[in-house]
Structure 1
Amino acid sequence: MANQVLLKGGLLIDGNGGGVIENAGVLNHGERITAVGPVDLIPVPENVEIVDVEGKVIMPGLVDAHVHLIGVKNLNLMLAVLEPTEIQMGRALKDLPKLIDAGVTAIRDVGSPVALHIRNLIKDGVYEGPRVKTSYKILGQTGGHGDIHMLPPEFNMNRTCDGVDDCRKAAREQFRAGADFIKICSSGGVLSEKDDPRSPQLTVEEISAIVYEAEAVGSYVASHAQSTQGIINALKAGVKTIEHGILIDEEGIELMLENEAYLVPTLAIVKRIVDVGDQYGVPEFGLRKARTYYDLHIQNMKKAYAAGVKIAAGTDFAGCDPVAHGGNALELELLVNDVGVTPMEAIVSGTKTSAEAIGLGDEIGTIEKGKLADLIIVDGNPAEDISVLLDTNNIKQVYVGGKRYKNGEAVKKEVELI
């Protein structure tokens, strides 16, 4: 019989953005939530484990909608592709407990040769970690952002594709390998040497072919899109999520609203590169481009937020300094401090909206009856001070599908079996 756990007496933030519930209770039966609300109104079944979380906050686990579970040593991609993937997989596996420790219960990997295998190992119970959705290899044009064009083509870890037919085949290859969705590059980027964030990449026709293949198998496309035209092209072709969105303009914002697309700003990686990237081997071209566009990026995110665009939280962290996993709540803090969202809106971005963006909105992201019991117990109230989530010592318990992966002693005031 599945274990039943009642989290009792905490302040509930359910992820929907509404009011909090004091002296709340959440009853988990196996992997799912079976009751939520004032604890006095929840019938207590026999043989239930009661965990007293009085003085703590119960909230959904964090969902990082843009990471690279890739195990690189640094952000110099030329060096990364020269390492064996087996070594990188070893490093990436070490990142799983860091993510759990930070309260991250689900991630979307947007490009990694090893994340697909790590996802499968977690599903098989060989390793413990957050839920993983992955695109496997990134699709991009020859000489574009997805092409490691500082090295000969045979070193490329991603999949270059040119023309409608080749793009269609490339998408099919990723799904054949087991990808959950497709990641493309419809513009240049910051950490690629020879292209420019202002440049569009892939045509609308090429992107449309990839979107068709994704939708044919019930999936979707996420696009690295920093240039104004690259964002517009991706949205016209039916892309679901826009990653970065640095140079989004009014037309792009309108298209996002019309298409009900999601924007994943990834402010955290740029902030870290601008602040300390020069101390950790970030190439000079990456430092220069990050510094050039950082302020403009923030201003355009403010415009998108004011217009009502759906914003999901993603860090673009890759597991190495200065973007090591474990500090993933930085994205929420930047949304509050730089973009101007409220702490509660940031929580929704990092839970409910991110879950929707990665295709798991029906299962996780909010604490509701019937959903998977992905939740965390926090010391401090992030709805009042979002920075509480940045200190992993404040994340006292972490549950993924009802299974407790982190169990802070400070929470265990009362643990008993009835």
Structure 2
Amino acid sequence: MQIFATSPPPGAAYTNAVPIIPQHSTLRHVQYPVPPDLDITEKPWALPEQTSIVFVHANVVDPANERVLKDVTVKLKHGLVESVGKTSNESDMGLTVEELQGVVIDAKGFYMCPGLIDCHVHIMAVPGYENIMETINGVRDTAIIRSAWVLKNMLSQGFTTVRDVGGATKPQAEAVEQWLTPGPRLFQGGPVLSQTGGHGDSTDPYGPQVCCGVRGAGLGRLVDGVPDALRAARELMRKGADHIKITTSGGVGSVTDKLEATQLTKEEIIAITTTVKNMGGIITTSHCYTNDGIRHSIEAGVGGIEHGNLLDEPTAALMAEKGIYLTPTLAVHGIIMNPPFEKFLLPSQREKNAMVRDAGLIAVQNAEKAGVTVCYGSDLLGVQHAFQTQEFVVRAKVLPSPTVLKHATTNPAKLLKMVGKIGTIAPGAFADIIFLKANPLEDVTIIDRQNEYLLGVMKEGRVVRSRIEGLDVEVPLW
């Protein structure tokens, strides 16, 4: 038995490993004539079963209960957490002969935290463009290909589950699930549904009309009237959408609407929310900044609000009463105004951004005070995806670290109907884990200082990033 040391030397680089190629695959090269036992349904990119790993003397972060489980043994098998229990004082630490012959890591020198969950991403808003309109209206096929970088970058930062709210599709989620495209577990809902002249309308107001408002990277689709809304919602659900996002107020990134505009009629929204419910979707969520828009959305059956920067105390109380989720996206408003992104927005967009930037900090406090379930959201575009963990820093200015950590673990698990499977390190959960040099419950902003504090990332028991001796990278991202 070899128990590996826990801490990398100062300045140690992340492990570079040779990618594992499934040795059982017969499709890399086959000499004619075709063997009679050739499996033509094989997915040759499929990875072998995960290695069983045991961590002893571990410090396990439990966000739900705001505590650290100290000196415990964590056993991982088949990509899941098999057990979590006190490390035995016996010489064999209570491990079986088979476990002792496998990978055993002495984890006393770091903290094991559940993988992070981001509930507001746009993987189709890819790098390579100068401003927001070019990003939104880029070529869709190009966006699909470049989204592989976005997904890998998110996983590299410790996000093991994300919810895309504008553009991603079922085939992309399946590619991630099969590890053809390494990335976070992907919940997707296709394009956001918007009225003509609404936040999701990226068409040129003076140019030729585009059918259904679908153009560019496919982040939005226009619906006008109940039949239109029904058809669009049913088509998205037929294509495998996990949820549907709509827009019920103006937005920063749109150029044809006012921020305070209330969008979509109650009847249009009800058509969508009813369809999502009847066809088995998780939730209908709405882009909305204003209190009027939030109340309008709730009355029509929406279950979640994105942004909510202008949320006041009475509306927050209504959200809590109705069990409505809130996913603020605060950091983006500062990131997008600073070099080199200051020209990313048009002048009219910068003006609207200023209206909601600081207000968001008050809104998230109102939500927490009222008892709203708040989730983590980044809403970044292009190369801004590299700043995905900055949201921890912004929220920590006004909220305690344990509360902010729940936003990215415990609470999203509830929103996504995945309680017990993600956002926790407990028996039966996916082995989605980030390894940290310090306790995020004491200072959640360490998650943003990754060169110093992030020691490794694991999703479904597969290590994708590591500076921990003995914890080798199985699926390199770069």
TM-score normalized by structure 1? 0.91
The residue that corresponds to 2:229 in the other structure is: 167
The runs of 5 or more residues in structure 2 that have no matched partner are: 1-48, 473-478
Which whole-Å CA distance do the structure 1 matches of 2:94 and 2:273 have between them? Answer: 47
SS in 1 for 2:368: helix
Report the AA paired with residue 119 of structure 2. Answer: A
Counterpart selection for 1:140 from 186, 194, 205? 194
CA distance in 2, matches of 1:276, 1:262: 33
Matched with 1:57 is: 111
Indicate the structure with greater helix content.
1
Which amino acid letter does the alignment assign opposite residue 296 of structure 2? N
Q: CA deviation at 1:366?
A: 1.0
Q: Trace 1:241-252 onto structure 2 (pairs within 5 A).
A: 241-252=304-315
Aligned residues: 407
1:341 is displaced (CA, Å) by: 1.6
Aligned to 1:109: 164
C-alpha distance in 2, partners of 1:27/1:120? 27
Q: 1:171 to 1:317 in 2, by over 3 A?
A: same
Q: Which residue of 2 aligns with 1:255?
A: 318
Instruction: Give the Cα separation in 2 of the matches to 1:345 and 1:76.
Output: 34
Query: What is the identity, as a one-letter code, of the residue corresponding to 2:174?
Result: N
Unpaired runs of 5+ residues, structure 1, are none
CA change 1:263–1:81 in 2 (3 A) is: closer
The one-letter code matched in structure 2 to 1:279 is E
Higher gyration radius (CA): 2
Q: What is the letter of the counterpart of residue 139 of structure 1?
A: L
RMSD: 2.1
Q: Residue by residue, what CA displacement relative to the aligned partner does 1:232-280 show, whole Å, maximum 9, x if unpaired?
A: 1111222121100022233421221112111111002112123347534
**SS of equivalent to 1:189:** coil
SS in 2 for 1:279: coil
Residue 403 of structure 1: aligned partner: 462
- Aligned partners of 1:234, 1:37: CA distance in 2, in Å? 45
Distance in 1, matches of 2:428 and 2:142, equals 39
Change in CA separation of 1:122 and 1:381 when aligned onto 2, cut-off 3 Å: same
Question: What secondary structure sits across from 2:357 in the alignment?
Answer: helix
Conserved? CA contact 1:343–1:383, under 8 Å: yes
* 8 A contact 2:396–2:445 mirrored in 1: no
Query: 137-146 vs 340-349, which deviates more?
Result: 340-349
- The letter of the residue matching 1:22 is K
2 CA distance for matches of 1:43 and 1:331? 41
Residue 257 of structure 2 aligns to a residue whose secondary structure is coil
Write the distance in 2 (CA, Å) between the matches of 1:116 and 1:295. 36
Q: Give the drift of 1:72.
A: 4.7
Alignment of 1:263-278 (within 5 A): 263-276=326-339, 278=341
Percent sequence identity over matched residues?
29
Provide the C-alpha distance between the structure 1 equivalents of 2:428 and 2:341, rounded to a whole number of angstroms.
47
Alignment pair present for 1:412 and 2:463: no
Residues 261-300 of structure 1 aligned to structure 2 (within 5 Å): 261-276=324-339, 278-300=341-363
Paired amino acid for 1:386? V
- The corresponding residue for 1:348 is 406
SS, match of residue 20 in structure 1: strand
Deviation at 1:160, TM superposition (A): 0.8
Residue 162 of structure 2 aligns to a residue whose secondary structure is strand
Show the 5 A alignment for 1:3-402.
3-40=51-88, 43-45=94-96, 46-47=98-99, 48-70=102-124, 71-74=126-129, 76-112=131-167, 114-150=168-204, 152=207, 153-154=209-210, 156=215, 157=218, 158-219=220-281, 220-276=283-339, 278-318=341-381, 320-321=382-383, 323-325=384-386, 327-337=387-397, 340-393=398-451, 394-402=453-461
Residue-by-residue CA offset, 1:355-412 (whole Å, 9 max, x unaligned): 222333342111111111111111222222222111233222212111222222xx21
Q: 1:180/1:371 Cα in 2 relative to 1: closer, same or farther (>3 Å)?
A: same
Please give the secondary structure, in 2, of the residue aligned with 1:275: coil
CA distance, structure 1, for counterparts of residue 136 and residue 112 of structure 2: 41
Which amino acid in the other structure matches residue 135 of structure 2? Answer: A
CA gap of 1:243–1:138, structure 2 versus 1, over 3 A, is: same
Equivalent residue of 1:255, what SS? helix
